[in-house]
């Protein structure tokens, strides 16, 4: 990992990850994490930032990808790098954008905590 181009986002998923299948069998994954601000506002409350990230899963790793096991509300820690996407569009205009590309995922909750939250969400009562 390049320590000069590296970040960490720890928070809760705002929705289930979106898994987009590519022609070669690989996946592009889109996810958003709500990350708590490190300061308190004038109202005495902490705000949050909503961080959009992307990930790539190689075709041979699709069956064991961690993103298929992640759900809205899960507490995760994502290590990412910043990727710049610079290109010239069909009209000759230069387009500049950045993507936060996930390099590593650390799930911060136990399976039982995740299962209990999913059961409450679906209206079931876990044993």
In tens, the pLDDT along 37-81 reads 999 989 999 999 999 999 999 999 888 889 988 999 999 999 999
pLDDT band at 125 (very low <50, low <70, confident <90, very high): low
In whole angstroms, what is the distance from residue 66 CA to residue 51 CA?
A: 19
Residues 6+ apart with CB under 8 A from 120: 126
Q: Report the CATH number at residue 93.
A: 2.40.50.140
Residue 92: domain span: 7-122
Number of structural domains the chain divides into: 1
pLDDT band at 126 (very low <50, low <70, confident <90, very high): low
Q: Is there a domain that residue 127 lies in? A: no
Please count the CA atoms within 13 angstroms of the CA of 116 that sit on its side-chain side. 6
Q: Is there a domain that residue 1 lies in? A: no
pLDDT, mean over the chain: 91
């Amino acid at each position: 990992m390049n320590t000069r181009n590296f970040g960490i986002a720890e928070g809760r998923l705002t929705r289930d990850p979106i898994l987009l299948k590519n022609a070669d069998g690989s996946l592009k994954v889109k996810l958003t994490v709500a990350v708590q601000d490190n300061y308190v506002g004038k109202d005495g409350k902490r705000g949050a930032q909503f961080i959009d990230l992307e990930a790539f899963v190689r075709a041979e790793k699709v069956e064991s990808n961690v993103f298929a096991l992640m759900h809205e509300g899960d507490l995760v820690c994502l290590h990412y790098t910043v990727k710049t996407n610079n290109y010239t569009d069909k009209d000759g205009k230069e387009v500049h954008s950045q993507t936060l590309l996930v390099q590593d995922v650390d799930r911060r909750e136990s399976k039982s905590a995740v299962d209990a939250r999913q059961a409450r969400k679906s209206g079931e009562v876990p044993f």
